[in-house]
């Protein structure tokens, strides 16, 4: 399965984003706005703290979302950008208007698995 197969569903969904901290403990947040660009998943950092710290120290990330009875898990590696192309990309998104937009999390996809 390719990201383009589920792009429209992902961009409409609330997505659970899981990272791992220094003590190998999971950390999970819900993200309302994700985008797909150039085969990557882009998540805006408006208010994140622990998620960003975890990505900087351990890039492995897992996302999960559902639409009706179908769900998908996306595993990959994330990079954090607070300047440059991806930062500029998230700053221009209408969903981020009025928010601080501190950075962009860019996920290189390793695997997409359909659930349900």
pLDDT of the residue at 116: 78
69: CATH: 2.30.110.10
Residue 31 — very low, low, confident or very high, per pLDDT cuts 50/70/90? very high
> How many structural domains compose the chain?
1
Q: How far is CA 71 from the centre of its chain?
A: 16
Interval 101-115: pLDDT, tens:
999 999 999 999 999
Indicate the DSSP class of residue 46: S
Indicate yes or no: pTM above 0.85: yes
Whole-number Å distance between alpha carbons of 95 and 71 = 24
What is the domain range of residue 108? 3-115
């Amino acid at each position: 399965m390719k990201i383009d197969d589920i792009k429209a569903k992902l961009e409409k969904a609330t997505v659970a984003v899981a990272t791992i901290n220094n003590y190998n403990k999971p950390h999970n947040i819900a993200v309302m706005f994700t985008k797909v660009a150039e085969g990557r998943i882009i998540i805006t950092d408006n208010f994140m703290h622990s998620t960003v710290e975890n990505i900087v120290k351990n890039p492995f990330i897992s996302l999960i979302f559902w639409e009706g009875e179908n769900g998908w898990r996306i595993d990959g590696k994330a990079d954090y950008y607070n300047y440059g192309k991806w930062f500029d990309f998230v700053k221009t998104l209408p969903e981020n208007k009025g928010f601080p937009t501190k950075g962009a999390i860019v996920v290189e996809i390793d695997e997409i698995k359909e659930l349900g």
